[in-house]
């Protein structure tokens, strides 16, 4: 690891000034991703400002819904009563991520700032536009089994790894940030993470020096019918091949409102807006879920090694919506098991 300066600054105003005036300074939260990247020499900050002693860790009800402090850990957030009762989709998604030890360390702000797990991004001997702009993308003609099927560019085909972010996308969260001179702004979640385009080195729309203070969740009626399904190659400590955050409001099985967001398929959490529109006003049946999922996946552009994700995502959307209709039970599944179960069901 390269030498760097470490500062634990308890005054956010001073810390924001330090980071804003040093282009290679970074905030340090739980460090569960950043420190790994520094050890691998992928990220080389000259200065880390430890923010873990700041405030910004409250989780509380507000007039419009709930505010989640950026410095609260993932574990505390997932187990907080307000979140478990009013936003169970978020609890399920967080608990599907990483491991208990990591969730105890990782902060909510850090979760949104984590970086792709593309193996070429981690390998400093390989070309990677995200790590070193202009060097090329080793994954385009390399091993791309885990890469994107939506929204990728020739410059980068990576996916975004967070489970929490998929639920936040489905729940229409808002990210509140602070910068120099106590300037604050709010970023709708759909605009927070970005597609790679010509600048895959930028994962999100935060400006250098801006600090995430909290995440706002608007009130909704999804608590009774929501479900997070994560398909992965082993049952813990693995990133999603495909994941689905699904939530519904129904009236006598007629769909009044529906939210579907996908993980593991794009450079950002992918809101399945085609499927959502298709389902409004329809009966909540497996046939309709499958038709809506198929309509969404018609727009997918799979790569050489990840065509399997198209069929997998259709099955996962159907299963997640069915799980939501059943009242939402925490769900995580290995890819083989989903394929076998679905084949079995179809053959009955
Ligand atoms: Fe780098 Fe993106 Fe290509 Fe992976 S997919 S090698 S992160 S540019």
Average pLDDT, the chain: 93
Q: Is the CB of 266 under 6 A from ligand 1?
A: no
Atom of ligand 1 nearest to the CA of 131: 1
Every domain of the chain and the residues it spans: 5-52, 59-113+160-218, 226-338
pLDDT digits (tens, 9 = 90+) for 96-146: 999 999 999 999 999 999 999 999 999 999 999 999 999 999 999 999 999
* Choice between 53 and 62, residue whose per-residue pLDDT is larger: 62
Helix-then-strand count for the chain, H and E: 13, 13
pLDDT at residue 336, rounded to an integer = 52
Measured in Å, residue 121 CA sits from the centre of ligand 1 at: 6
What's the length of the chain?
348
CA 128/CA 42 separation, integer angstroms = 10
pLDDT at residue 2, rounded to an integer = 94
Name the residue among 122, 117, 348, 60 with its Cα closest to residue 237.
117
pLDDT at residue 138, rounded to an integer = 98
Atom of ligand 1 nearest to the CA of 196: 2
Same fold, 5-52 and 226-338: no
Specify the CATH number of the domain 5-52: 3.30.43.10
Strands (E), the chain: 5-8, 25-28, 47-50, 59-61, 65-69, 174-179, 183-188, 211-218, 226-232, 242-251, 254-263, 270-271, 331-334
CATH superfamily of 226-338: CO dehydrogenase flavoprotein, C-terminal domain (3.30.390.50)
Tell me the mean pLDDT in the region 274-280: 98
CA 167/CA 213 separation, integer angstroms = 19
CA 173/CA 187 separation, integer angstroms = 9
Q: Is the CB of 289 under 6 A from ligand 1?
A: no
Measured in Å, residue 304 CA sits from the centre of ligand 1 at: 15
Please report which confidence band the pLDDT of residue 64 belongs to, taking 50, 70 and 90 as the band edges.
Answer: very high
- What percent of the chain is predicted at pLDDT more than 70? 94
Q: Is residue 72 pLDDT above 80, yes or no?
A: yes
Q: Is the CB of 271 under 6 A from ligand 1?
A: no
- For the chain, what is the radius of gyration of the CA atoms? 20
CA 205/CA 219 separation, integer angstroms = 25
Give the DSSP letter of residue 45. -
Q: Is the CB of 130 under 6 A from ligand 1?
A: yes
CA 26/CA 34 separation, integer angstroms = 9
pLDDT at residue 342, rounded to an integer = 44
Measured in Å, residue 104 CA sits from the centre of ligand 1 at: 29
Measured in Å, residue 158 CA sits from the centre of ligand 1 at: 5
CATH architecture of 59-113+160-218: 2-Layer Sandwich (3.30)
């Amino acid at each position: 690891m390269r030498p760097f300066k470490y500062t634990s600054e308890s005054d956010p105003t001073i810390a924001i000034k330090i980071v804003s005036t040093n282009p290679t300074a970074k905030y340090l939260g739980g460090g569960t991703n950043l420190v790994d990247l520094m050890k691998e020499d992928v990220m080389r900050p000259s200065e880390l400002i430890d923010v873990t002693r700041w405030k910004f860790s409250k989780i509380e009800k507000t007039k419009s819904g709930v505010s989640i402090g950026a410095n609260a850990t993932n574990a505390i957030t997932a187990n907080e009563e307000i979140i478990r009762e009013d936003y169970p989709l978020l609890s399920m998604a967080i608990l599907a991520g990483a491991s208990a030890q990591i969730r105890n360390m990782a902060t909510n702000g850090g979760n949104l700032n984590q970086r792709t797990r593309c193996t070429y991004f981690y390998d400093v001997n390989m070309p990677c536009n995200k790590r070193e702009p202009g060097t090329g993308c080793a994954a385009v003609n390399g091993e791309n089994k885990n890469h994107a099927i939506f929204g990728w560019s020739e410059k980068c085909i990576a996916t975004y790894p967070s489970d929490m972010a998929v639920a936040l996308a489905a729940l229409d969260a808002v990210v509140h940030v602070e910068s120099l001179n106590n300037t604050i702004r709010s970023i709708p979640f759909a605009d927070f993470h970005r597609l790679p385009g010509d600048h895959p080195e930028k994962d999100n729309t935060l400006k250098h020096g801006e600090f995430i203070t909290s995440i706002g969740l608007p009130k909704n009626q999804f608590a009774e019918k929501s479900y997070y399904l994560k398909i992965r190659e082993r049952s813990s400590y693995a990133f999603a091949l495909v994941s689905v955050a699904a939530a519904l409001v129904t009236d006598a099985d007629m769909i009044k409102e529906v939210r579907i967001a996908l993980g593991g398929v794009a450079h950002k959490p992918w809101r399945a807006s085609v499927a959502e529109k298709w389902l409004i006003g329809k009966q909540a049946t497996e046939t309709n879920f499958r038709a809506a999922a198929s309509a969404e996946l018609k727009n997918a552009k799979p790569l050489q090694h990840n065509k399997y994700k198209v069929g997998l995502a259709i099955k996962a959307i159907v299963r997640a919506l069915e799980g939501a209709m059943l009242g939402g039970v925490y769900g995580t599944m290995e890819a083989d098991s989903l394929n076998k179960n679905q084949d079995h069901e179809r053959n009955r």
